Amino acid sequence: MEFKAQSIADFLGGTVEGDANVSVSDVAKIEEGRPGTLAFLANPKYNKYLYESEASIVIVNLDLVLEAEVKATLIRVPDAYKAFASLLELYQQAKGQKTGIENPSFIDSTVTHGKDIYIGAFAYIGKNVKIGNHVRIYPHVYIGDNATIGDDCTLYSGAKIYEDTKIGNACIIHAGAVVGSDGFGFAPIEDGSYKKIPQVGNVILEDFVEIGANSTIDCATMGSTIIRKGTKIDNLVQIAHNVEIGENTVMAALTGIAGSTKIGKNCRFGGHVGVAGHITIGDNVNLGAMTGVANSVKSDKTMLLQPAMEFAQAAKVAAVYRNLPQLRQQVIDLSRQVAEIKTKLEDK
């Protein structure tokens, strides 16, 4: 399917700069652009590629100032990144969606589902599961008893949804993710062994939640582990039992949240963040990559390092850390000078 520059600009509410009739049938990164493809430029780090790219159309920000002539037709929009995301969504929809129920698959007779669904081969859907409209369940997905899947959800191959899990509308669960597995609960016994504590709660994902590949969200010991509306969780993230995460929070890969921690809305966690259990993280908190949080954090804070500290203090610590080799040598030199002075004083 081909799209002309003018049609794309009309869809995005942008303006064309160049040949309005040039067509594209594929997308590409700006540095890998080739004739017939559409690319975008939002990060100034990639500006140089605009003048080298062979892409036929490039979406750019309104305020971009050209430093040289470009081959591509430009479409100027207020926010190139958001505009390109909208186009990718349209492009994906144009490719079509699978429908129907493939065999072999197991669907219990008590399952209810809406219209226009797709269930891939080797999927297992247990008793009393409720599935909404326009749901896509890819091969080898497991859905346990009494689970609920809302409208417009997509569960990719190998996703595991344990019993009693509640998933809202327009959620995406990527391949290998596990939602509702047991929390890590064990009681120490006098002989040094551990007795497993039954985990009888569930997981609730509200609307527009996305869970990355191979991430795990544990069910609550009692009650619910809750991921609020609009939260986006990257690949390889661990969310422990009874955690609550507020609306529109995002977490990058390898983040781990220990049990019973409460996280506010609109937070942003970098990769490899670790958060201890039974603490509270306020709203609008930013945690830099590899930050270790052992105590509660108030709203509107930016924290870095291990143990976590506010940005200004972390910057001072980082400056000292970078200078450690020089500081070490200074200490060695001063120690030598002190020793020499001491020797001279003793000789007198």
Catalytic site positions: 241
Q: Which amino acid is at 119?
A: I
Give the list of residues 6+ apart from residue 59 with CB closer than 8 angstroms, or none: 8, 12, 14, 38, 39, 40, 41, 74, 75, 77, 80, 83, 84, 87
Task: Specify the DSSP element, H or E, that contains 220.
Answer: none
* Best CA proximity match to 281, nearest among 259, 292, 297: 297
Sign of CA dihedral 286, 265, 238, 118: negative
Tokens of 211: 């869970």
Sheet with 106-107: list strands edge to edge.
Answer: 106-107, 124-125, 142-143, 160-161, 178-181, 216-218, 238-239, 256-257, 274-275, 292-293
